[in-house]
A = this chain, B = another copy of it.
Amino acid sequence: MEEKLASLFQALADPNRLRMMELLRKQEWTVGMMATQLEISQPQTSKHLRILHDAGLVTVTIDANRRRYALKSQVVEPLDAWRTYLARETARLDRLENFLAESQREENGS
């Protein structure tokens, strides 16, 4: 089990692939569309999509000489869970920084 979960996280552990996942939340994408949107090369786009597909995170529909990639619906929830977590942590850190900045100002008596 640990192995499988590790592969999953490995597939997600790349900024470009996460950007792809984000785009895929909204709609299906062909390789060319994605490459244009993300401003990365077509081969890179294909490679990253293959990794996501191998990890079972996306589906492919072959449509003539195009491939339409789509997000597996089951992935949305766990992905959101992490995004929520990260958003909360970031907010928490921001509040901490503000607090520390306040304390600093108070020390200076300004």
Q: A: which residues have CB within 8 A of B?
A: 1-10, 12-15, 18-19, 22, 56, 74-75, 77-78, 81-86, 88-90
Q: List 6 contacting pairs A-B, 8 Å CB cutoff, sorted by A.
A: A2-B18, A4-B86, A5-B86, A74-B89, A78-B78, A81-B81
Instruction: Say whether A75 contacts B85, CB under 8 Å.
Output: yes
CA distance A3 to B90 in the complex (A): 13
* Least CB separation from A85: chain B residue: B78
Question: CB-CB < 8 A to A18: which residues of B?
Answer: 2, 5-6, 9
Known contacts A81-B78, A85-B74; is-contact A13 B6 (Cβ 8 Å): yes
Question: CB-CB < 8 A to A22: which residues of B?
Answer: 2
CA distance A89 to B18 in the complex (A): 21
Question: CB-CB < 8 A to A14: which residues of B?
Answer: 6
